[in-house]
Amino acid sequence: MSGNLLHRPSILRRPDGIGGAFPALVLIILFFVVPVVGLLLRSVTEPVPGLQNYATLFGDGTYARVFFNTFLVATVVTAVTVVVAFPVAWMLAIMPPALGSIVFGIIILSMWTNLLTRTYAWMVLLQRTGVINRTLMDIGLISEPLPLINNLTGVTIGMVYIMLPFMILPLVGTLRAIDPMTLRAAALCGASPFDAFRRILLPLSLPGIAAGGLMVFVMSLGYFVTPTLLGGTSNMMLAAMIAQMIQSLLNWGLGSAAAFILLLVTMALYALQLRLVGAKRTTGGI
Amino acid sequence: MKLIMAGILAGLLAATAARADEMVFTSWGGTTQEAQTKSWAAPFEASSGIKVLQDGPTDYGKLKAMVEGGSVAWDVIDVEMDFAIKAAKDGLLEPIDFNVVPKAGLDPRFTTDHAVGSFYYSFVLAWNKGAVSGEPAGWADMFDLTKFPGKRTFYKWSAPGVIEIALLADGVPADKLYPLDLDRAFKKLDTIKSEIVWWDSGAQSQQLIASGEAAFGQLWNGRVFALEQDGADVGVSWNQNMTAADVLVIPKGSKNKASAMKFLAAATSPKSQAMFAEASGYAPINTAAKAEMPADVVKSLPDAYVDGQINLDMNYWAENRDAIAERWYAWQAK
């Protein structure tokens, strides 16, 4: 490796040391690693030393339900996001660049709008007396308001909307890298459009789906604002439970234990992703 | 180098010196904190020369972290009374210096060694007249799905109020509420659970009722008062209204304790309490405040509805806060 470097101009050298990353590394260690270790310690020292916090978390039906809810929401949101994002990403990939950058701008713009504002906007749209229900009732399609809020439906709608850019962006990267000739070749060989999609486009775009999907899944696992505002109490997710333990109940031991489990799951998922898709494709896709 | 260090040191000293006549007041934001700023902080600044910085919202986790970490940025905090009793027990609060804060006139219901009242309020039954046919007469009607169909809204967090409402509706006499029969309360609540919409902030409770999103609910009287002021078509029943209170506390290790005590004295004075009550619709915790208020405002306060009024038992809640909360959130999550 070092022999190679001699022949390259220094600016093209791959940074294989941690020298350049040093400031960022110090920041992360000081403001992330150290507090996380402190958190882990609290989970085994408060209120008394031992593993009782973890025993409570795993032994209690309520907490099990919250864990289940968290994974259910993350799974549903990820699946719906993939389905909604794919056509958009495909269009972006094949659009003329000028038009594509406008659509891109619109997608990015939504990411820059305040999360709370967007979530409250959904509340106004989805509630029983909201725009959607009013309209549907006025035109006589329904006689009773549809339950679109304070349940899993509301959470899914609100979160998919917020997660879409995180799915679309990596997916566009992957789709653009696919040679359009492969699809033409498939058509020439007699494949129907659906076959071409299923056997050519979909497999080739898997790295992008995996990268975006993992990002959406992991972000969903820790989501707080949207599930709290658009979900009901029976949709409580881990982040809301942790906030409750830390802020209201002052049970920091239990809250820390739950936070640590969330962190472990997230890291495990990332490790899985690295193994399945490979480090290069994972990071390269984003 | 030495010069620079000396300069930095001098700057730091100046900064701390400037802080000597400042203090930080923390409350829940919204219209309540606005009224507190206008009625308490502004007159206090003018008379004492101590600047009152506003912060918020109140966060019990932050309070604990500040006290434990020894870096307390808040000097006076508006908290729920049952929390204050528990926090005092946990050593998070400074005792009140009643040589500085005059005890005379303070409602003994809302005064402890470590807290003085901020304001008190009642939970009342409010409804949207357009969404409800007839007039709900009391808490029991909130559990009657045939006579009063529609969504009903209750306070989301584990706190004094909803459990008591369920028990009263189930026929428990008001003087036999405590100790709370949680099994019975949750069983009663189960009968309407699918029709409950939870509110987690005062503003949300107003929005739910005003829009008809919920036909009726358990609201803070001050929020109903504000709805009426805005001309919303709401009805209200004070039958078995339930009082609870917010109190003002000083976190242990406050850097401006002396100023904070003076602030408490000013905020609980009859005049400040009267001004706040007029602005917020919540009741004063100084019994002399009513003399300072217009008659029509006095009429709208929980004080005017003591007949059948129930004082939620803050000491019971302080004692059982964690145990009830655990059951409460487990039941909600089901």
We report the CATH number of the domain holding residue B11 as 3.40.190.10
If asked whether residues B211 and B323 sit together in one domain, one would say yes
What confidence tier does A187 reach under pLDDT thresholds 50, 70, 90?
confident
Which has the minimum average pLDDT: A245-249, B62-66, B245-249?
Answer: A245-249
Which has the minimum average pLDDT: A6-10, A161-165, B295-299, B300-304?
Answer: A6-10
Cβ–Cβ under 8 Å, residues A207 and A277: yes
According to the CATH classification, is domain A60-285 in 1.10.3720.10? Answer: yes
pLDDT tens per residue across span B201-244: 888 899 999 999 999 999 999 889 889 988 999 999 999 999 99
DSSP three-state, residue B92: coil
pLDDT tens per residue across span A207-225: 899 889 998 999 999 999 9
Q: Is the pLDDT at B2 greater than 60, yes or no?
A: no
Is the previous residue joined to B270 through a cis bond, with omega within 30 degrees of 0?
Answer: no
pLDDT, residue A61, reads: 85
Q: Is the pLDDT at A10 greater than 60, yes or no?
A: no
Q: How far apart are the first and last CA of chain A?
A: 27
Mean of pLDDT over chain B: 91
For residue B61, the chain A residues in CB contact (below 8 A) are 246-248, 250, 252
Q: Is the pLDDT at A285 greater than 60, yes or no?
A: no
The continuous run of DSSP H or E covering A54 comes out as helix A52-59
If asked whether residues B316 and B173 sit together in one domain, one would say yes
Encoding tokens for residue A151? 């349940």
If asked whether residues B286 and B316 sit together in one domain, one would say no
Q: What angle do CA B150, B152, B155 make, to 5 degrees?
A: 170
Q: Is the pLDDT at A283 greater than 60, yes or no?
A: no
pLDDT, mean of residues B101-125: 95
For residue B322, the chain A residues in CB contact (below 8 A) are 249, 251
If asked whether residues B148 and B255 sit together in one domain, one would say no
Say if the Cβ atoms of B330 and A249 lie within 8 Å: no
Provide the residue range defining the domain that includes B159.
121-244+307-333
Query: A interface mutation test: which of B79, B195, B326 has the most A CBs within 10 A?
Result: B326
Say if the Cβ atoms of B333 and A244 lie within 8 Å: no
Those residues whose C-beta lies under 8 Å from the C-beta of residue B32, and which sit 6 or more positions away, are: B202, B222, B280, B282
Percentage of residues of chain B with pLDDT beyond 90: 80
| Rounded Cα distance, A13 and A8, in Å | 6
Letter for the amino acid at A16?
A: D
pLDDT tens per residue across span B5-14: 555 554 454 4
pLDDT, residue B15, reads: 47
Map tokens 């093209």 to a residue. Answer: A12
Say if the Cβ atoms of A252 and B156 lie within 8 Å: no
pLDDT tens per residue across span B79-108: 999 999 999 999 999 999 999 999 999 999
Q: Is the pLDDT at B290 greater than 70, yes or no?
A: yes
pLDDT, residue A46, reads: 84
Percentage of residues of chain A with pLDDT beyond 90: 45
The domain spans of chain A are 1-45, 60-285
β-partners of residue B24 are B53
Any alpha helices (H) in A95-146, and if so which ranges? 97-112, 115-126, 131-138
Residue of A nearest to B333 (CA): A234
Residue scoring higher pLDDT (A185 or B153):
B153
If asked whether residues B223 and B287 sit together in one domain, one would say no
pLDDT tens per residue across span A145-181: 899 999 999 999 999 999 999 999 999 999 999 988 8
Strand B116-128, strand B196-199: pairing = unpaired
pLDDT tens per residue across span A16-27: 566 778 888 999
If asked whether residues B278 and B178 sit together in one domain, one would say no
How many domains would you assign to chain B? 2
Interface of A with B (CB under 8 A): 60-62, 65-66, 69, 127-129, 150, 228, 232-234, 236, 241, 244, 246-252
If asked whether residues B186 and B260 sit together in one domain, one would say no
pTM, full prediction: 0.81
Q: Name the nearest CA neighbour of B68 among A283, A279, A235, A45.
A: A45
pLDDT, residue B130, reads: 92
